[in-house]
Amino acid sequence: MTPPSTETHWAVRVEEKAKFDGIFESLLPVNGLLSGDKVKPVLMNSKLPLDILGRVWDLSDIDKDGHLDKDEFAVAMHLVYRALEKEPVPSLLPPSLIPPSKRKKTPVFPGAVPVLPASPPPKDSLRSTPSHGSVNSLNSTGSLSPKHSIKQAQPAVNWVVPVSEKVRYDEIFLKTDTDMDGFVSGQEVKDIFMHSGLSQNLLAHIWALADTRQVGKLSKDQFALAMYLIQQKVSKGVDPPQVLSPEMIPPSERSTPIQTLSGYLTPVGTEISALTEMRRDSSSSVGSGEFTGVKELDDISQEIAQLQREKYSLEQDIREKEESIRQKTNEVQELQNDLDRETSNLQELEAQKQDAQDRLDEMDQQKAKLKDMLSDVRQKCQEETQVISSLKMQIQSQESDLKSQEDDLNRANSSRRRRSWSRVSRLEKCSSKQSSNL
């Protein structure tokens, strides 16, 4: 018995550990521990062979308490990811993979015999560990039956639910499981199922198919199967089968005995057979809200029958609303086109307005200059007016003087003409006298 070196570096990288811790917390650990039935779906989704997954569980459960803490879960996920990359899973956990929190108190037992056989085990060899933890395996029934431990190995069957969709359905399941008991009832999933718009008898049939153990509740895998069947019908028009095919059966339900909700073995009694037969016989009458033999189905059928009439009227209203919405959409589109045109015109007008404003600014400047020039001209006009008034007065004065001079001249001329006529008359008289004297 050789203890691992405490100086060995842990092979789980920091970024891997952070991602694995997030997955660990999403599985809702109890007191920091995950039981096998919570870890099993995560491991099964890897699609690795069951013997590899059994070895991963055995290696990661370092303290052999039937549960995984956060560090042990990181080791398990690390081994799964390495296996997916075609790296072999070791038969013994290397010192580099032992979490630092386990190295001081956990010895390595080279001679330890794995709980699960190295050869390919039967489908039920990967089982959930019971909460009280007495067997170091993933036994979903809580105990290892000798009858099942000696079964011949069977090839693993792939599940029809894709991993990506399973993760999405698991998130919906966790939100829907309000009482956190690991199961959802008809009341809890009613709104989700009704939202699909499928008929009531089809939803009841899908419920009956998913409720493989006929307990009136769905586990996480069963809920994922139901959501997958609903999605197939809604998106692709694929009708659910009358009976589940092997690849449709959830991995956790394959080749395992039917159990009660407490997780312990229960024989397949006549009650389960009767319920199964009743479900098949009444699958055609579930749509009308008749008795199906399963309480949860009866409750859902009755409520669906009550809501079906409202659904038809609502569908009619929806069609009218959709037509109105289409008309409004066309009107809105036309208004949007008009708005785009008006916006373009407005932009052009804005550009023109800016040009006009620039011209107005220039004209304002020219107007200011013209005002200054007009003021100067007015001042000059006033001065010229004064000069003209002065000249007018001078002219009037000169005209008055000139007229006086003309009057004086006229009087002088008149007097001169009278004197001239008088002289001429005297000369004529003298001449006349001289002529008479001759």
For residue 121, pLDDT over 50 is answered with no
Q: What is d(CA 235, CA 225) in angstroms, rounded to the nearest whole number?
A: 15
Q: What is d(CA 108, CA 308) in angstroms, rounded to the nearest whole number?
A: 64
For residue 87, pLDDT over 70 is answered with yes
Condensed to tens digits (0 to 9), the pLDDT of residues 272-314 reads 333 334 334 433 333 344 333 445 555 666 677 677 767 777 8
Kindly state whether residues 186 and 119 are assigned to the same domain.
no
Q: Is residue 151 part of a domain?
A: no
Q: Of 142, 176, 205, which residue sits at a domain end? A: 142
Between 53 and 126, the more confident residue is 53
What's the CATH code of the domain at 195? 1.10.238.10
Q: Is residue 347 part of a domain?
A: no
Kindly state whether residues 34 and 137 are assigned to the same domain.
yes
Condensed to tens digits (0 to 9), the pLDDT of residues 226-253 reads 999 999 999 888 999 988 888 899 988 8
Kindly state whether residues 19 and 137 are assigned to the same domain.
yes
Kindly state whether residues 130 and 171 are assigned to the same domain.
no
Q: Is residue 276 part of a domain?
A: yes
Q: What is d(CA 383, CA 376) in angstroms, rounded to the nearest whole number?
A: 11
Of all residues in the chain, the percent with pLDDT exceeding 90 is: 32
3-state SS track over the chain: CECCCCCCCCCCCHHHHHHHHHHHHHCCCECCEEEHHHHHHHHHCCCCCHHHHHHHHHHHCCCCCCEECHHHHHHHHHHHHHHHCCCCCCCCCCHHHCCHHHHCCCCECCCCCCCCCCCCCCHHHCCCCCCCCCCCCCCCCCCCCHHHHCCCCCCCCCCCCCHHHHHHHHHHHHHHCCCCCCCECHHHHHHHHHCCCCCHHHHHHHHHHHCCCCCCCECHHHHHHHHHHHHHHHHHCCCCCCCCCCCCCCHHHCCCCCECCCCCECCCCHHHHHHHHHHHHCCCCHHHCCCCCCHHHHHHHHHHHHHHHHHHHHHHHHHHHHHHHHHHHHHHHHHHHHHHHHHHHHHHHHHHHHHHHHHHHHHHHHHHHHHHHHHHHHHHHHHHHHHHHHHHHHHHHHHHHHHHHHHHHHHHHHHHHHHHHHHHHHHHHHHHHHHHHC
Kindly state whether residues 43 and 115 are assigned to the same domain.
yes
Query: What's the pLDDT band for 115 if we cut at 50, 70, 90?
Result: very low
Kindly state whether residues 133 and 36 are assigned to the same domain.
yes
Mean pLDDT of the chain: 76
Q: Is residue 339 part of a domain?
A: no
Q: Of 248, 276, 293, which residue sits at a domain end? A: 293
Q: Is residue 393 part of a domain?
A: no
Kindly state whether residues 226 and 183 are assigned to the same domain.
yes
Q: Is residue 284 part of a domain?
A: yes
Q: Of 272, 293, 314, which residue sits at a domain end? A: 293
Q: Is residue 387 part of a domain?
A: no
Our count of domains for the chain comes to 2
Rounded average pLDDT over 402-421: 88
Rounded average pLDDT over 42-69: 90
Tell me which residue range forms the domain holding 79. Answer: 14-142
Query: What's the pLDDT band for 425 if we cut at 50, 70, 90?
Result: confident
Condensed to tens digits (0 to 9), the pLDDT of residues 15-54 reads 888 999 989 998 999 999 999 888 988 888 888 998 899 8
